[in-house]
Amino acid sequence: MLTLPTDLSLLISATAFLALFLFCLGILQFRRQRSYRQEIIEKIKSGGEITAVPEEDKTLKTDQTSFFKALIFGLFEKIGAFANPPKRANRPNVRLKFLRAGIRRENAAAVYWGLKIFLAILFPAIFFILRISLFKLMSYQVATAVGVATAIVGFYSPDIWLRYKTDKRKEKLLEALPDALDLLVVCVEAGMGLDGAINRVAKEIKLKCSELSEELTFLNLELRAGKPRHDALRNLALRSDLEEMNSLVTLLIQTDKFGTSIAQALRVYSDSYRTQRFQRAEELAAKIPVKLIFPLILFILPALFVAIVGPAAIRISQNILTRF
């Protein structure tokens, strides 16, 4: 009877478990996307707002996930507390880095450092376990170098993830800003005040971009709390970290300071921003031929060369061989 080695059977079992886990995760994600799409279709048909989830369903979902989240975040927070003291976590630049990524938890810095330390230990541990079971022929020097490299990768993986999350959030804000600006122009020209218009735009833009809606909502909350308008607007520009948002905030502060028409200023800025979007699209289109050079040289031209010259080369070689 044919028997598999123990290491190979463990590898097959782990691969099967991972495939089954990813399959179940894909089904769950598909169901979530389908339910969300159906919810949007029902909202469009009814012409109303998206119905809120019942309180029983909310409490059921939170009970299922809050325990695991609290356990994991609590573990990472305790680990990160050694490397990140509370005074260091409250520094403005550290908190601003998480705010630009959309993370607003108070213990975000401690959890972040705890995750870095945990991954810096986990990745080398996994590698040395695989070395004992699979890579037995690897020398000690190479194993040590790879272990150090995996530790570095694990330590800097949260930085890469945070940078990626920040960039994706900035892209979403930049994509939804023109629509929000048009809604703001319409609300101001209809006779609404700037604070009321911002609040209205925050509610209407939530279906398209929840990130921008969240930022405008925080702006509105700061205004309600009594913070001066120019300070709240500067905080909005600081959190978003977008050049277009900085220009809009500067425009709103100047119109509020000098008493000019906000509707006219927003109309002019909207037209100039549309011109900038068109120029940015033209710039991206102009870069496409340059970016296509490397795939063309590496992949397309060799295939064309083989398809065109290949039959002729084969026939020439056959004729030469028959003569000799």
Give the pLDDT confidence of 168-196 residue by residue, as tens digits. 999 888 888 888 888 888 888 888 888 88
Average pLDDT in the 153-163 region? 89
Looking at the domain assignment, is residue 205 inside a domain? yes
Looking at the 3D structure of the chain, how many domains does it have? 1
| Spatial distance between the Cα atoms of 219 and 237, rounded to a whole number of angstroms | 10
- Give pLDDT tens digits for 14-44: 677 777 777 777 787 777 777 777 777 776 7
| Spatial distance between the Cα atoms of 95 and 84, rounded to a whole number of angstroms | 13
pLDDT at residue 50 is higher than 50: no
Looking at the domain assignment, is residue 175 inside a domain? yes
Looking at the domain assignment, is residue 188 inside a domain? yes
| Spatial distance between the Cα atoms of 250 and 233, rounded to a whole number of angstroms | 8
- pTM of the shown model: 0.65
Looking at the domain assignment, is residue 1 inside a domain? no
Looking at the domain assignment, is residue 143 inside a domain? no
- Which residues are CB-neighbours of 134 under 8 A, at least 6 positions away? 7, 11
| Spatial distance between the Cα atoms of 249 and 243, rounded to a whole number of angstroms | 10
Looking at the domain assignment, is residue 66 inside a domain? no
Q: How confident is the model at residue 74 (pLDDT cuts 50, 70, 90)?
A: low
What Cα–Cα distance (Å) separates residue 143 from each residue in 42, 128, 129, 140, 252? Answer: 57, 8, 11, 5, 59
- Give pLDDT tens digits for 215-255: 999 898 998 888 888 888 898 888 888 888 888 888 888 88
Looking at the domain assignment, is residue 240 inside a domain? yes
- Give pLDDT tens digits for 263-311: 888 888 888 888 888 888 888 888 888 888 888 888 888 888 888 888 8
Looking at the domain assignment, is residue 220 inside a domain? yes
What Cα–Cα distance (Å) separates residue 261 from each residue in 146, 188, 191? Answer: 63, 10, 12
- Which residues are CB-neighbours of 177 under 8 A, at least 6 positions away? 212, 242, 244, 245, 248, 273
Report yes or no: 265 and 255 within 8 Å, Cβ to Cβ: yes
59 vs 78, more confident: 78
- For residue 285, give its domain range: 171-290
Average pLDDT in the 87-115 region? 76
